Amino acid sequence: MDAVAQAAGISKGGVQSCFGTKAALIDALFARFGQAYERRFREVASLDDDPAGQVRAHVEATFGSDEVSSAKAAGLLAALLQSPQDLVGTLTWYRERVRNWQLDEPGRQQALLAFLATEGAFMLRYFGLVEMDDALWQKALQQIRALLDAPPSDASCSMD
């Protein structure tokens, strides 16, 4: 909270009175950086609330988010990995994304793979682990969309 207070030019007490806890501050930062993502997610998800549709919404929202917000969210996530006690909100977010998945249903395995590919592409790009220009980013999006649009495969997969 000290760093936030200093960056904002206010007292630590001012930050604490506004947010109360470090967890509330982290949640507020994620909410701020994720506004465009959440808008796009809800827009696409409203068309199909099936788990595969939710993954499609996640893919479109992730690839459609602006670079600045995505980079900030990735930076915050990287910092949170250093303090697992502050990951509760993030863990809950991921749990919500994959709950009620029945991987034995047609198309669900491909949706899982698309979800994991989207997360991997995001982290590789925004953690700076792979140099990924816009052309490669868009190519990844096209491939993930193709995976979601393909007829269900017979491969078996389990989250257990």
pLDDT-derived band at 12 (thresholds 50, 70, 90) equals low
pTM score, whole prediction: 0.78
pLDDT beyond 60 at 25 = yes
Looking at residue 3, its pLDDT comes to 58
Looking at residue 8, its pLDDT comes to 54
CA distances from 41 to 59, 109, 112, 121, 135 (A): 8, 20, 17, 17, 23
Q: Name the burial class of residue 14, with classes exposed (0-12), middle (13-18) and buried (19+) by CB atoms within 10 angstroms of its CB.
A: middle
pLDDT beyond 80 at 1 = no
The domain ranges of the chain are 34-149
C-alpha–C-alpha distance, residues 63 and 138, integer Å: 8
Tokens of 153: 């495969």
Maximum mean pLDDT: which of 51-60, 95-104, 124-133: 124-133
* Arithmetic mean of pLDDT, 94-103: 79
pLDDT beyond 90 at 62 = yes
* Arithmetic mean of pLDDT, 11-37: 70
* Arithmetic mean of pLDDT, 44-59: 88
pLDDT beyond 90 at 36 = no
Looking at residue 24, its pLDDT comes to 72
